[in-house]
Structure 1
Amino acid sequence: MMPVNGLTSCKLAPSLQFRDIVPHIVCLFLFFIHPSVYSHIATEVMVEPTSQERRLVVNPLQQYPLLVEQTLLLDLAGVSPVFSANYRTLSEWQTVLFDPAQVGISQAQQDTELQRMQGQVFAYWRFIATTANKTPSAEEASIVEVPMVEFPMNDGRYSAVLNKISQLVRLEDKGAWEPLVLEEKLTLGQASPIVNTLAQRLWLLGDSSFAPSASTESNEGQIYTEELMQSIQGFQRRHGLEADGVVGNQTLFWLNQSPYKRAQLLAKNEVRQRVFSQTLTPNYLLINVPAFEMTLVVQGEIALRSKVIVGKPSRQTPILDSQISNVVLNPHWRVPRSILRRDILPHIRKDGHYLMERGFDVYDASGQLAHHSPEEWQALASSRFPFKLVQRPGPKNALGKYKFHFENDFSVYLHGTSEPSLFKKANRALSSGCIRVERVDELASWFKAHLIKDTALWDKLAPDVTQSQWFALSSTLPVHLVYWSAWLDDQGLAQYRNDIYHLEAELTNAVPAAIFY
């Protein structure tokens, strides 16, 4: 028999005897024929719920999933004082289990307030969705109903971030996060008074699966073991540090970051990424500067990941959005005056053969090639040096074999390198602003397969390392240079990176207060 309204037909099981169902028939008889009798029996066996149980049953937050967590996220992200006030209120109500007598307002008033708070969360995401690509008209701004797809509430990754932030805040509430101090680096086999605290901290942060000893009578003679070192290596990897297992200044810095600071950093970056994602197209290239990482996304899926080298703190890679419009095969490098002064001239002063060995052509003010002896170049490098340098294509060219051009006001671009060993470094803020790509050959191959117009010419010139050629694309590819120093990875691990340009304090997620009222 087909089910009706979700119910299926019933038959007595072969092993079920009539005597087994008599008690059930009697109960049904009492309920339908003599409700007063049934009511009396039920009253006799019912256990009166405690006041706490009653409050839990009517907990109004059940109607607003993730309201506390979302409010906390937007509070920590610095979106608006509205969420700071709302989170304080929600926290106070939670401590008394939403008991109206202790909250000071009726259940109905509580529900109205919760509706208002939830509405303000929706108002924020509605504002982000409608302003991502354009300024909304008065008519658009007045729209109340926005498709749920605009909100992140049903996104599993979003829920995971909310959960991680809540965990960190609860961890902060459990006690002080005292700074660890070392006089020298801690290496395998050494004794240190911070070892037990170090082990506990790694366990609390989820970097160690071994719970430390509950009690320690003395801090003396604590040994930095192989097991603890492996946990430190995992900790170092998720903070973008060299995973050598040595506890030095950088590792100690991140060990001393309190759970609250971690939650705040993760919240700020999560909101920043959510806002940014509203503007994305299906295909794009993204460079996360503090992570030293490039990601090529094709039809919403990751097609290529690569390490990159970005600008030094003194010569920062700019944060911008543009379109890659050309790829250059075997590029020339026209040396900017600032790099000539800071980097090239010191080399020439030390070695007069430097220009010839590195394949540089030197041009005077009239555009003519200049020729001098090594000794003369050394002397000229100590003076005003009124020349321009152009490095010829070849294996020693600083740009490598490929250059990816996009319009910007900073004269930066993506390219290869003649020094691939630098990609082994954990801190890859090493360039003068341009982005060097480790897997540049694979990136170039993707462009050739999907965007290069004249692939026949490409194939003809590719084996040559000396002939330079610009290639047009069938369509441009969006490129985004972003600054994200914290995120949740695919395994659910919170990843953190050094604020290499000290921009976190300057980056804001604040929105106009008017959108909430």
Structure 2
Amino acid sequence: MKIDRRSFLTGAGAVAATLASGSAHAQDVIRDLILSPRRGNWDEQFDARAYEGGRVATSLPIFSPDTVSHVEMAIGQYHNIVAQGGWPMVQASQKLRLGVVDPAVETLRRRLMISGDLATSAGISPAFDSYVDAAVKRFQLRHGLPSDGVMGDYSYAAMNVSAPVRLGQLETNLVRLRAMSGFLGDRYVMVNIPAAQIEAVENGRVVLRHTAVVGKIDRQTPILNSKINEIIVNPFWNAPESIVRRDIIPLMRKNPNYLAENNIRILGPKGEVDPLSIDWNTEEAAKLHFRQDPGKINAMASVKINFPNPHAVYMHDTPQQSLFNQIERFHSSGCVRVQNVRDLVTWLLRDTAGWDRQRFEQSIKSGESTPVALAAAVPVYFTYVSAWSTGDRVVHFRNDIYGRDGVDELMISAAL
């Protein structure tokens, strides 16, 4: 039997109304609807406006007076949540998802209602229906998680951070946001380290967002303010001494062909040095210059974004594109890898005569290392913001990867 959209919505609305009154029969009916093999794609049949707050997607920059105002409002809301006892812990008994009927879903619904991700009109039931699916996806987006609607380890961990801790996280980050709420430039780039995300901002609006890979816990990306002044197409990669000591020397002890396989040359005062002439069981090599030729396996791949700073860090492309798909993107030695970096570079070079997207792509294909000075330097800010708000009840939280918020409970990845 084929059910049209109007009939389905009418029936579903009746079920929801009955369910809200606590009827056990209604729970059986909605369970049958969810599990029906003929229901097709639930999202196509059911418009689930499950949330109470605004939409998560926005062009509002994290550094903005409006963001400060939204965080101040959120702090007031979270004070009320804490005063009323916070939210319940959701037991991680299984991977809850659309179609599951489990008592834990009742607790999940209450948790999502308190944070504004699920409208109270959705009611309390053990059914993981489309309302809950949309609410979980909204929660995941606000916490920088894949919005698949499935309650897995990371979603449970983020959801079970207590309300008082989240309130404290907002208060800590409000200080950081206020310090950066002034004029930062008509155009600027902001790297948010705990979010592993980049914003390109123009005239007070985000025009590009990029997923990033930032520094490991023991090789942290620094906080800094600078100006992007140069793009290098097909860059040479010069290994810093720290990487030579920590990575290259140990790898050469295991595989004497490592340098040759990765197009890395050793340059000494008198020219290129034969790797076979070095005693890799000592630290002798740490004082030499290791340089990787341009190419697809180069650590920076197609492009490097330069800006003066005392930490010798930069932004760049990477041959390891799969890292951008990971939940935890803290794998670098301090520099910042940029997904879809060519879009960002095209935006940076917009006012540099003769460097449109076509020439940029042609330059990459040439394989020649080419430095390009920007006609006008673009401010860049490396910052640490683990909580912010972009609208009414649209509050974002991230894992405090470097422990700078001062609460162990926020270092979620360490517990997983």
Letter in 1 for 2:319: S
2:208 pairs with 304, 318, 341, which one? 304
Letter in 2 for 1:260: P
Q: Deviations over 1:416-453 (max 9, x none)?
A: 11112211112211111001111211122223321368
The 2-side partners of 1:412 and 1:277 are apart by 25
Cross-structure match for 2:95 = 186
Range with bigger deviation, 255-264 or 402-411: 255-264
Higher strand share: 2
The structure, 1 or 2, with the larger RCO (C-alpha pairs under 8 Å, 6+ apart) is 2
Same amino acid, percent of matched pairs: 33
The 2-side partners of 1:348 and 1:465 are apart by 31
The 2-side partners of 1:334 and 1:424 are apart by 27
In the TM superposition, residue 251 of structure 1 has moved relative to its aligned partner by 2.4
Alignment of 1:217-228 (within 5 A): 228=132
Cross-structure match for 1:208 = 118
The 1-side partners of 2:357 and 2:118 are apart by 54
1:443 aligned to 2:344? yes
Q: Deviations over 1:229-262 (max 9, x none)?
A: 5533332221112334444443233222333332
3-state DSSP of counterpart to 2:400 = coil
Change beyond 3 A, Cα 1:177–1:388: same
The 2-side partners of 1:292 and 1:257 are apart by 20
Cross-structure match for 1:199 = 109
1:408 aligned to 2:309? yes
1:370 aligned to 2:273? yes
1:252 pairs with 131, 156, 159, which one? 156
Letter in 2 for 1:174: Q
The 1-side partners of 2:344 and 2:357 are apart by 18
Change beyond 3 A, Cα 1:418–1:319: same
Change beyond 3 A, Cα 1:163–1:472: closer
In the TM superposition, residue 318 of structure 1 has moved relative to its aligned partner by 0.4
In the TM superposition, residue 404 of structure 1 has moved relative to its aligned partner by 1.4
Cross-structure match for 2:368 = 467
3-state DSSP of counterpart to 1:324 = strand
The structure that has the greater radius of gyration is 1
Letter in 2 for 1:312: K
Higher helix share: 1
Give the superposed CA RMSD: 3.3
Structure 2: runs of 5 or more not aligned: 1-63, 408-416
In the TM superposition, residue 412 of structure 1 has moved relative to its aligned partner by 0.3
Q: Deviations over 1:49-105 (max 9, x none)?
A: xxxxxxxxxxxxxxxxxxxxxxxxxxxxxxxxxxxxxxxxxxxxxxxxxxxxxxxxx
The 1-side partners of 2:357 and 2:114 are apart by 58
The 2-side partners of 1:454 and 1:213 are apart by 57
1:476 aligned to 2:377? yes
Change beyond 3 A, Cα 1:358–1:254: same
The 1-side partners of 2:355 and 2:158 are apart by 50
Q: Deviations over 1:173-215 (max 9, x none)?
A: 2225454444x6534477766432222111211222365766x
Cross-structure match for 1:421 = 322
Structure 1: runs of 5 or more not aligned: 1-150, 217-221, 507-517
The 2-side partners of 1:225 and 1:303 are apart by 35
Cross-structure match for 1:494 = 395
The 2-side partners of 1:485 and 1:285 are apart by 18
Cross-structure match for 2:225 = 321
3-state DSSP of counterpart to 2:349 = helix
Count of residue pairs the alignment pairs up: 341
Cross-structure match for 2:296 = 395
Letter in 1 for 2:79: V
Letter in 1 for 2:306: H
TM-score, scaled relative to structure 1: 0.58
3-state DSSP of counterpart to 2:247 = helix
3-state DSSP of counterpart to 2:227 = strand
